[in-house]
């Protein structure tokens, strides 16, 4: 056993012993092992098994979650109303105010749900006699249908410039405020893992096979990764579309980190498509600290409907497929590091709840911003001009200095 492994084991055992009276054996069995699970006998499980066959006999976990959440029999197909938030009534007035402040006559959203924020903002704009139109990127078909109906109901169909399911299909002519309203943390992650015997960067992804209703987690081989266009070498993830530097993510053996390349794709694609005087406004749940770093998986899924939101019991998670509103918030600091590597300057970060009120009245963005301890944050960027996209993007894991001011 290497020195690191020995120290980690001692440390983990001591910590967990203190916290929960666990032994190292039960801790490793529960957390840091691959799972085998009998799936429920549902149509969704059958769809997943079929998809698995079609895709060379395995799925990456991003593919698995995507089907579980957004597939024909997935969570969003049946329970889509559960995922809507109370952002729209709190933000509509502020959104109009921000559009006026920056001189935008167009705003757009990724993950608009049933279009409530759009409708409420357009109602405010109409009252203020301010010319404003909207565009949306929404992956869930039932949501798109609801948006179309709502725009018709409120007489705003002519104000809808586009409604598409993917960023690549949108066409933006005018500079805009592009809003991500609780959309990014609904995008499915890949599950990165360190399979080495010591503290190290992730070197592969977890995947699953599903046969006769039995799901088995596997470590994807370099060949399997290559079949999806992916390589992971020395902490650098490359999928042909983006290269991400994950070398600061030091994981203990068999520890996982749930990181969504699709989030990075989505933000990068949006930035590339927007006129350079546009701004991003990200309203989302983030994690402001890393909790107990070595005793759990990093950024494990959260279940919105559970009191204990972090999904520590991975077996239970599989057994409940299609019944759980999973979402995947990431560390605020990692996301800010990523924006920086995209060449995007952040102008304002604050607690979402207060920011909505403050921003509905200010004449310019407040100069002092802070990283709040609260879950939900709003991030507003400077105009995207001068956007120089780095070759290798950053998604740093840096526990220090999480709560310091950005602009002090």
Ligand X SMILES: C[S@@+](CC[C@H](N)C(=O)[O-])C[C@H]1O[C@@H](n2cnc3c(N)ncnc32)[C@H](O)[C@@H]1O
Q: Check binding of 189 to ligand X (CB under 6 A).
A: no
Q: For residues 204 and 194, give the distance between their C-alpha atoms in angstroms, rounded to a whole number.
A: 7
Q: For residues 48 and 66, give the distance between their C-alpha atoms in angstroms, rounded to a whole number.
A: 10
Q: Kindly tell me which of 84 and 218 has the beta carbon lying closer to ligand X.
A: 84
DSSP 298: B
Q: Check binding of 143 to ligand X (CB under 6 A).
A: yes
Q: Kindly tell me which of 247 and 360 has the beta carbon lying closer to ligand X.
A: 360
Q: Check binding of 261 to ligand X (CB under 6 A).
A: no
Q: For residues 26 and 31, give the distance between their C-alpha atoms in angstroms, rounded to a whole number.
A: 8
Closest approach of Cβ 243 to ligand X, in Å? 20
Q: Dihedral (C-alpha) 68, 317, 399, 265: value to the nearest 10 degrees?
A: -10
Closest CA to 110 of 144, 83, 138, 88: 138
Q: Kindly tell me which of 4 and 162 has the beta carbon lying closer to ligand X.
A: 162
Looking at 24, 51, 84, 236, which residue binds ligand X (CB under 6 A)?
84
Q: Check binding of 286 to ligand X (CB under 6 A).
A: no
Q: For residues 78 and 100, give the distance between their C-alpha atoms in angstroms, rounded to a whole number.
A: 38
* First and final C-alpha spacing in the chain: 45
Q: Check binding of 119 to ligand X (CB under 6 A).
A: no
Question: Of all residues in this chain, which one has the CB nearest to ligand X in the complex?
Answer: 111
Closest approach of Cβ 28 to ligand X, in Å? 33
Stretch that binds ligand X, among 105-113, 122-130, 305-313, 387-395 (CB under 6 A): 105-113
Q: Kindly tell me which of 244 and 270 has the beta carbon lying closer to ligand X.
A: 270
Looking at 135, 183, 202, 301, which residue binds ligand X (CB under 6 A)?
183
What SS3 string covers 10-50? HHHHHHHHHHHCCCHHHHHHHCCCCCEEECCCCHHHHHHHH
Pairing of strands 106-110, 177-181: parallel
Q: Check binding of 76 to ligand X (CB under 6 A).
A: yes
Q: Kindly tell me which of 146 and 294 has the beta carbon lying closer to ligand X.
A: 146
Write out the residues near ligand X by the rule CB under 6 A: 76, 83-85, 87, 110-113, 137-140, 143, 181-183, 186-187, 266
């Amino acid at each position: 056993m290497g020195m690191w492994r020995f120290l980690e084991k001692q440390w983990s055992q001591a910590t967990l012993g203190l916290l929960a009276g666990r032994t190292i054996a039960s801790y490793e069995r529960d957390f840091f092992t691959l799972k085998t699970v009998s799936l429920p006998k549902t149509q969704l499980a059958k769809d997943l098994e079929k998809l698995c066959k079609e895709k060379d006999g395995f799925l990456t976990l991003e593919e698995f979650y995507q089907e579980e959440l957004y597939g024909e029999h997935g969570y969003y197909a049946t329970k889509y109303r559960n995922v809507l938030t109370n952002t729209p009534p709190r933000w509509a007035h502020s959104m109009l105010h921000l559009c006026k402040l920056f001189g935008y006559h167009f705003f757009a959203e990724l993950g608009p749900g049933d279009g409530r924020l759009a409708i409420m903002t357009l109602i405010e704009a109409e009252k203020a006699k301010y010319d404003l139109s909207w565009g949306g990127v929404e992956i869930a078909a039932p949501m798109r249908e609801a948006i179309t109906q709502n725009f018709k109901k409120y007489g705003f169909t002519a104000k809808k410039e586009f409604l598409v399911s993917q960023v690549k299909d949108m066409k933006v002519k005018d500079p805009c405020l592009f809003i991500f309203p609780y959309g990014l943390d609904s995008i499915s992650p890949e599950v990165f893992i360190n399979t080495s015997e010591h503290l190290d960067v992730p070197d592969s992804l977890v995947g699953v096979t599903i046969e006769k209703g039995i799901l088995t987690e596997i470590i994807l081989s370099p060949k399997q990764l290559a079949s999806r266009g992916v390589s992971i070498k020395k902490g650098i993830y490359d999928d042909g579309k983006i290269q991400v530097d994950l070398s600061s993510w030091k994981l203990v053996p068999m520890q996982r980190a749930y990181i969504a390349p699709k989030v990075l794709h989505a933000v990068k694609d949006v930035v590339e498509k927007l006129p350079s005087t546009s701004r991003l406004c990200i309203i989302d749940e983030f994690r402001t600290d890393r909790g107990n770093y070595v005793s759990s998986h990093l950024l494990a899924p959260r279940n919105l409907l559970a009191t204990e939101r972090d999904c520590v019991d991975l077996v239970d998670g599989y057994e409940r497929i299609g019944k759980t509103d999973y979402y995947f918030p990431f560390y605020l600091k990692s996301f800010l590091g990523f924006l920086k590597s995209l060449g995007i300057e952040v102008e304002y970060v604050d607690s979402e709840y207060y920011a909505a009120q403050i921003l509905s009245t200010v004449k310019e963005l407040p100069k002092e911003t802070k990283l709040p301890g609260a879950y939900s944050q709003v991030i507003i960027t400077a105009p995207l001009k001068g956007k120089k996209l780095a070759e290798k993007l950053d998604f740093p894991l840096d526990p220090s200095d999480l709560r310091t001011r950005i602009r002090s």
